[in-house]
Amino acid sequence: MIKHLPSEQIDHEKWDKCINNSYNGIIYAKSWYLNIVHPDWEALVEGNYLRVMPLTVTKKFGISYFMQPFFIQQMGIFSQSKMYPEKTLEFIEAIPQKIKYIDTNLNSYNKLTTNTFSKENENYMLDLIEEYSKIRANYSSNNIRNLKKAGKHKLSIIKSVKPNEIINLFNNNKGKDVAKWTDVNYKTLERLMYMAIHKGMGVVYGVYTENNQLCAAAFFTRFNKRLIFLFSGSNQTAKQNGAMSFLIDSVIKEHSSSQTTLDFEGSNDKNLARFYKGFGAKKMAYNRIKINRMLFPFSSLLNYYLKQKEG
């Protein structure tokens, strides 16, 4: 039986044990991670935490919404036994009726036989079990050129970059075009990175120029043999010296010949997808579900508002 549990009734010890033992367990679903990105998260729990589903519910204007939080690409159902489409649908139908609008991403193991309320998103992943030379043999010609460029510029890479340094690097460059990010979002990200590093589940790589200037950096999480490329920042110099290709290549080299999978965390963006595929990464789809339970005319008004917000 699937039960809905409010935040205060969730047993975090049992929850994390389920995530740790789930065949599709992922760091986004760890209780400490959810506590940072969306305090007071709720949950659906089957049996004695055999299967679980986090519900990141927000209330605005008296209406409850279940939306995808920042810094979580995939959520959905996490299970200690094999999942079937019927079980995925059962969990979706168990989402409390008080939640009037749902827009969330399932994980790639949560399959559905219907697409009436879902669509596929793209993710790219690279298996690092092969030795480095075999992985590199699948690099695109563009990445090979970038690596040669990085070699000429005598770039170096270290792991002692602080979270606020990578955030500042992003904020002062690409962040200027990301209007939807607030100071609260950046503070949440900083807390998330520090906590992951503290728990031995996160690492920041920084690329420095020959003059010892930070030009690119990336934050990765580590859990369940999965290395997730969660966040990055770079400046104009990095575009000219191949720094980001150099950074990712260094991470691949470090973790090659292991049972690690590099998760690029996206992307539906064609340019980013091409960049990730340039390292030999393969597409792995996951479903985004949207369900509007509001009555007419409020359902239509909400749909219009959300479309305008998305641009």
Predicted TM-score of the model (pTM): 0.92
Give the integer Cα–Cα distance in Å for 196 and 138. Answer: 31
Residue 142 binned pLDDT confidence (cut-offs 50, 70, 90): very high
Closest CA to 250 of 163, 132, 126: 132
For the segment 200-206, the average pLDDT, to the nearest whole number, is 97
CA-CA distance, 96 to 152, in Å (whole number)? 58
- Residue-level pLDDT at 31: 98
**Which pLDDT does position 187 carry in this prediction?**
96
From residue 53, alpha-carbon distances to 19, 28, 72 in Å are 10, 11, 14
In 117-172, which ranges are continuous DSSP H helix? 132-136, 141-152, 163-171
| Residue 118, pLDDT score | 87
- Neighbour tally for 230: CB within 10 Å: 21
Rounded mean pLDDT of 211-238? 97
| Whether residue 300 has pLDDT greater than 80 | no
CA distance between the termini of the chain: 40
User: How many Å apart are CA 118 and CA 289, to the nearest integer?
Assistant: 4
pLDDT band at residue 56 using 50, 70 and 90 as cut-offs:
very high
Decide which of 305 and 290 is more confident.
Answer: 290
The beta strand positions in 117-213, using DSSP E, are 118-127, 156-158, 202-208
Using CA atoms, how far apart are residues 38 and 28, in angstroms rounded to an integer?
Answer: 11
Least confident of 111-120, 277-286, 291-300: 291-300
Q: What is the mean pLDDT of residues 293-310?
A: 60
- Give the separation between CA 4 and CA 46, rounded to whole angstroms: 9
Lowest mean pLDDT among 131-140, 245-254, 286-295: 286-295
Mean of pLDDT values over 92-108: 96
pLDDT tops 80 at residue 177:
no
| Structural domains of the chain sorted by starting position, each given as residue range(s) with its CATH number in brackets | 2-121+286-310 (3.40.630), 129-259 (3.40.630.30)
